[in-house]
Amino acid sequence: MTYPLVRELAADGIPVAVTCRVLKVAREPYHRWLPCPVTEADIVAAYRANALFDAHRDDPEFGHRFLLDEAREAGHAMAERTAWKICSQLGWWSAFGKKRGRNGKEPGPPVHDDLCTVVDKHGVTRHEFTADGPNRLWLSDITEYWTSEGKL
């Protein structure tokens, strides 16, 4: 909001009409804002944010839904979406949030030992597909198909 800047420049002696014209701000809304620079909605939003912050400081493992319950118990009623918006804008996330990789998927550790891995004399890891004996090394190709019930 540029109204505080207009007020500061007016205090420095620059006419309000000139400042509003340069900043492309209408004068009438500025003069309506001047007697009451903090609106009732801003005050309510600040009280809600304080209630959510107090709940988050007490229990950092809570997400926005539990913080909303704590704020409601403290007497600050608000919608769930409002609590989510305040928490999201201010970065108040659960301490146990899920770490996400690229596209929300991150590969896990291998479920078996890689018997084909060989490290050469230069320290480069590569695969060598030779088996020491029968039934020691199996190779396969997995093809995945999407069905109406999920991946097959």
Give the C-alpha distances (Å, rounded to integers) separating 124 from 26, 114, 127, 131: 68, 15, 10, 20
Q: Write the pLDDT tens digit of every residue in 94-108.
A: 877 666 556 666 667
Structure tokens at 132: 């020491």
Mean pLDDT across 115-143: 82
Mean pLDDT across 7-23: 92
Q: Do 74 and 48 touch, CB atoms closer than 8 A?
A: no
| Dist. CA 68–CA 17, nearest whole Å | 45
Mean pLDDT across 123-151: 81
Q: Do 116 and 110 touch, CB atoms closer than 8 A?
A: no
Q: Write the pLDDT tens digit of every residue in 34-51.
A: 888 888 888 899 999 999
Tell me, what DSSP letter sits at residue 125? Answer: E
- Please determine, for residue 53, whether its predicted confidence score (pLDDT) is greater than 60: yes
Q: What is the mean pLDDT of the chain?
A: 84
- Please determine, for residue 133, whether its predicted confidence score (pLDDT) is greater than 70: yes
| Dist. CA 29–CA 116, nearest whole Å | 73
Mean pLDDT across 135-144: 77
pLDDT of residue 39: 82
Percentage of the chain modeled with pLDDT above 90? 28
| Dist. CA 28–CA 103, nearest whole Å | 48
Which run of H or of E encompasses 6?
helix 3-11
- Please determine, for residue 52, whether its predicted confidence score (pLDDT) is greater than 80: yes
118 backbone dihedrals φ, ψ, rounded to 5°:
-135, 135
Our CA dihedral for 6, 12, 17, 19, rounded to 10 degrees, sits at -50
pLDDT of residue 104: 60
pLDDT of residue 80: 92
pLDDT of residue 13: 93
Mean pLDDT across 120-135: 84
